[in-house]
Amino acid sequence: ALAALMQVKSNVDSGMFYPLQHAAVRALSLDPEWIRTRNDVYWERLQLLASGLRTLGMEVTLPKGALYLWTPVPEGQNAEQVARRWLFEAGVAVAPGTFFGPSGAGYVRISVTAPTSRLKEALERLQALGAG
């Protein structure tokens, strides 16, 4: 009964979800070379996106330890408008910065967890849209 209660508690309140705990243990036991390789892949994707967005006239600052790029939206637009336009007109999904709190207003957040080929395709679609 206690195990069942702990399982429910783990899923409904601030307790850490058990499968996530097990995944963290597994991740921490991985070969450091695997982690370095993944970090290199994400860094390359960050640089690819930053370069592509800059060619669209967008301002980008590379993060020092994140899987996301934040970029200000064009003057006169808000993050929700930009995210909606990119999604419906170019098929590119980004998150409006306001999803993450009031300080995200005026920004969109772009994840680099998609495969590199998909990120290149997204940049091509944004270029065709004239985003920026």
**Given this model, what pLDDT does residue 60 score?**
93
**Given this model, what pLDDT does residue 14 score?**
63
- The whole-number mean pLDDT for each consecutive block of 10 residues of the chain, a chain of 132 residues, reads 69 73 89 91 96 94 93 92 95 95 94 96 94 68
**Given this model, what pLDDT does residue 11 score?**
63
Vertex 48, ends 122 and 88: CA angle to 5°?
Answer: 15
Q: What are the φ and ψ backbone dihedral angles of 17, each rounded to 5 degrees?
A: -60, 125
Sheet containing 68-72, strands listed edge to edge, beginning at the edge strand earlier in sequence: 68-72, 107-111, 95-96
Residues of the chain with CATH 3.90.1150.10: 32-129
One-letter amino acid for residue 79 of the chain? A
**Given this model, what pLDDT does residue 27 score?**
86
Q: In CATH, which superfamily holds the domain spanning 32-129?
A: Aspartate Aminotransferase, domain 1 (3.90.1150.10)
- Predicted TM-score (pTM) of this structure: 0.77
Question: Counting every residue, how long is the chain?
Answer: 132
Residues 41, 42, 47, 49, CA torsion sign: positive
68 burial level (CB within 10 Å; 0-12, 13-18, 19+): middle
**Given this model, what pLDDT does residue 108 score?**
96
